[in-house]
Amino acid sequence: MSENKIPYKIYLEEDEMPKAWYNVRADMKNKPAPLLNPGTHQPMTAEELEGVFCADLVAQELDNDNAYIEIPQEIRDFYKMYRPSPLVRAYCLEEKLQTPAKIYYKFEGNNTSGSHKLNSAIAQAYYAKKQGLKGVTTETGAGQWGTALSMACSYLGLDCKVFMVKVSYEQKPFRREVMRTYGASVTPSPSMDTEIGKKINAEHPGTSGSLGCAISEAVEVAVKNPGYRYVLGSVLNQVLLHQSVIGLETKAALDKYGIKPDMIIGCAGGGSNLGGLISPFMGEKLRGEADYEFIAVEPASCPSFTRGVFAYDFADTGMVCPLAKMYTLGSDFIPSANHAGGLRYHGMSPILSQLYDDGLMKAVSVEQTKVFEAAEQFARVEGILPAPESSHAIRVAIDEALKCKETGEEKTIVFGLTGTGYFDMVAYEKFHNGEMEDYIPTDEELAKYAAKLPKID
Ligand SMILES: *Cc1c(COP(=O)(O)O)cnc(C)c1O
């Protein structure tokens, strides 16, 4: 059979790696809505944004026109340490499922941070360094972003202050220690180091924290300390831009063998890996050159796309960040303790939100026990122990492959395998012990949070 010519892993040569990021906004007819000043509700100017973010990153954030933005040589050199990431043909999974579908996954877990987040962390740290800053502040939930940023900052000699959601700080001591190994300072959030932290601690004594609260703390520290800026690991346009390296490599690898995917699937927390993976393919779809089916997969416990509203909302609990128009559950929404920590954000990338609203991509939500069933099935045949976040994409890839088995269709399915799950063994333990629960918020609960969305006209 000719398809046996396709190797298990398709790698790219160093000189085949992308030299520019692709900015899908350039090809979008309906651009993502601008960020608004939380006080005046006017579009944020570059100058206002530069108080919080690095100047070059602000330029990228606001750039809706340039399709390609050169990747600086220093970043390309850093990428070479762990990229290209392999595009794997899941022969073993196909065999196990007895499906005629052809399944590929792009594996981003081959670096110490264990996820795709390093692709943007190094870019953001690079521009901070270039601007002559002393350091950066950020938040981390599950810990992958904080780890990636710590690695990037230590490589460039920048200080890195991480506010880690208190529950993760206590439950994931190993993640915390990896960050400290790379020289970052890690503070449990809400802390008593910031005005916002003090306020939240006073209002909610004993709170275990949330991502929205940690963001507010990190922004406050960045704004108050000269030589510091705030950086964010997902949601923003600039992050999707950096993550386009995933999609560009995937496309180059597929093109090498003349493979055209029918369907591209990715998990969606803030939308950065999915946005990065689909960007070059979405560009073709937007330009009318090709058609693909794109599927975002989110947890049923935090269903921003499938049950949220498309509206301006706060990015953080303290309401200090700009307002973003996105699919959101409301900034006060605190998802139940589901185990895919990286998918618990209340909002979604404004770029993906616009594409979804325009009917250019689909979204589905899945329950976590079903996700872990898929994770285990995948680990047993493909060898890689997947992150719970990534396993949302595995779940839907398997479901789609099983549909092909019924219909006999030989679809080509590509999915993003964003990372490894070594720090998530408590979640796997709960699953194995039959103690994992599927929490699905009620309509009443979601309506309560949606009613609190800011009124913008
Ligand atoms: C952070 C994270 C995600 C979700 O973030 P996106 O911005 O939606 O990509 C998914 N998988 C892993 C492994 C992560 O660390």
Ligand 1 site: residues with CB under 6 angstroms? 115, 117, 144, 234, 267-274, 342-343, 387, 389-390, 418-419
414 phi, psi to nearest 5 deg: -115, 130
Residue 19 Cα to ligand 1 midpoint, Å, equals 24
Q: Tell me: the pLDDT tens digits for 100-153?
A: 999 999 999 999 999 999 999 999 999 999 999 999 999 998 899 999 999 999
Q: How many CB atoms lie within 10 A of CB 385?
A: 18
317 phi, psi to nearest 5 deg: -70, -35
In angstroms, the CA 14 to CA 76 distance is 10
In angstroms, the CA 360 to CA 28 distance is 11
Residue 272 Cα to ligand 1 midpoint, Å, equals 7
Residue 269 Cα to ligand 1 midpoint, Å, equals 6
> Encoding tokens for residue 98?
């007895």
Residue 334: what pLDDT?
A: 76
Distance (Å) of CA 248 to CA 160, 268, 275, 397: 29, 19, 11, 21
* pLDDT confidence band for 337 (50 / 70 / 90): low
Residue 149: what pLDDT?
A: 98
> Encoding tokens for residue 187?
């503070």
Nearest CA to ligand 1 atom 1: 342
Residue 457 Cα to ligand 1 midpoint, Å, equals 32
Residue 445 Cα to ligand 1 midpoint, Å, equals 25
Helix-, strand-, coil-residue percentages of the chain, each rounded to 5:
45, 15, 35
Q: Tell me: the pLDDT tens digits for 273-282?
A: 999 999 999 9
pTM of the prediction?
Answer: 0.97
Nearest CA to ligand 1 atom 13: 419
Report the helix count and the strand count for the chain, using DSSP H and E: 18, 15
Residue to mutate, 144, 236, 345, ligand 1, most ligand atoms under 8 Å from C-beta: 144
Residue 270 Cα to ligand 1 midpoint, Å, equals 7
Residue 332: what pLDDT?
A: 83
Higher pLDDT among residues 315 and 69, named by residue: 69
In angstroms, the CA 124 to CA 272 distance is 14
> Is the confidence at residue 368, as pLDDT, over 60?
yes
* Selection from 165, 127, 169, 162 nearest residue 147 by Cα: 162
Q: Give the CA radius of gyration of the chain.
A: 21
Nearest CA to ligand 1 atom 2: 342
> Encoding tokens for residue 88?
């794997």
Residue 209: what pLDDT?
A: 87
91 burial level (CB within 10 Å; 0-12, 13-18, 19+): middle
In angstroms, the CA 424 to CA 193 distance is 29
Residue 4: what pLDDT?
A: 56
Residue to mutate, 85, 138, 273, ligand 1, most ligand atoms under 8 Å from C-beta: 273
For 43, residues 6+ apart whose C-beta sits below 8 A from its C-beta are 34, 35, 36, 37
Atom in ligand 1 nearest the alpha carbon of residue 272: 7
Nearest CA to ligand 1 atom 5: 269
Structure-derived torsion over alpha carbons of residues 378, 240, 341, 402, reported in degrees to the nearest 10: -30
> Is the confidence at residue 272, as pLDDT, over 50?
yes
Residue 312 Cα to ligand 1 midpoint, Å, equals 22
Q: Tell me: the pLDDT tens digits for 176-223?
A: 999 999 999 999 999 999 999 999 999 999 888 888 889 999 999 999
